[in-house]
Amino acid sequence: MSKNNSTQRRKVLKSIGSGLAVAGFGASGTVTAEEKSLEEIYKQARKIRQKTGEQEQFVEHLQKHCTGVEVTTSEFTTKARTSDDGSDVSTDRVKKRHMEGQLVLGGDYTHTVADYRVDLDGGYGTGEGNEDAVSISWKPKDYDMNNSGTHTDNASNVLLKQSGFNGALWTFDDWNACHYGCDGLWFSVGTRMKRLTTDTPRKVQATYQSVWSDTTAVTGMSVSGDGTVTMSVSTTSEADYEQIHREVDRESFETNL
């Protein structure tokens, strides 16, 4: 991961990293959807990535076999704790953890896969006590997902917490993953959805929510009709509650695939 390109298209975020893709899938691509099911294509692409660790090869396989593929990437750092008066604690260790999230969409003529890979670069002691939250979501009118529609890769510290017709939420145990350092660590979460409408554009969103307070936990999420994600939070601190609900930074693109 490059740490020197933040002045270009990629962004450095404070609390939450998010990718927002606006997509309409059509008849473009290198092969027809009938040659191989999207589920098989996605499964094979994940096998290639798991074996090599290379995101580029994962994307290339999707590009070769899907009717359309789009990618959006954000770089971000987690937010340091704040003191009781709300001021930043400049020496907090959490500031040292750099992350990159990449949202990939691939599709055939009826279904879409959304894959969100998170790469971490953090030294000793950059994990925090409570789990971070990772989500993929969409407008309820755009897609539907069955009970077996979620996936994870390289994710020994990731647990599916919630899934439904409008998205999925996972927790990431960054304490175990990063307490002794997590340079070069990556994991991915994914969903496979059935499209409910031919209207475009359709929107898919991926978010990473850092939970730095030991007394705060993300207990679930809700998705509004316009696709906005709201995290359900358990905390005894008003300052913690306000910080975890700060506005999500978004990247978006439109496509006519």
Poorest-pLDDT segment among 88-97, 176-185, 186-195: 88-97
d(CA 112, CA 228): 19
How does residue 24 score in pLDDT terms, banded at 50, 70 and 90?
Answer: low
Angle at 117 between CA 241 and CA 46, to 5 degrees: 145
Poorest-pLDDT segment among 24-33, 68-77, 128-137, 178-187: 24-33
Nearest residue to 189 via CA among 173, 209, 205, 169: 169
Strand partners for 152: 189
pLDDT tens-digit map of 198-222? 888 888 888 888 877 777 888 899 8
Supply the pLDDT for residue 125: 63
Between residues 253 and 189, the one the model is more confident about: 189
Beta strands in the chain (DSSP E): 16-23, 68-77, 98-107, 111-121, 132-138, 143-144, 150-153, 158-164, 167-172, 185-195, 202-209, 217-223, 229-234
pLDDT tens-digit map of 110-148? 999 999 999 988 776 677 778 888 999 998 899 999 878
Supply the pLDDT for residue 99: 82
Average pLDDT, the chain: 76
Between residues 92 and 96, the one the model is more confident about: 96
Q: What's the whole-model pTM score?
A: 0.80
Q: Count how many Cα atoms sit within 13 Å of the Cα of residue 144 in the half-sphere of its side chain.
A: 5
Q: Quick check: 102 and 19 in contact, CB under 8 A? A: yes
Which 3-state string (H, E, C) describes 113-137?
A: EEEEEEEEECCCCCCCCCCEEEEEE
Relative to beta strand 167-172, strand 111-121 is unpaired
Amino acid at 184: G
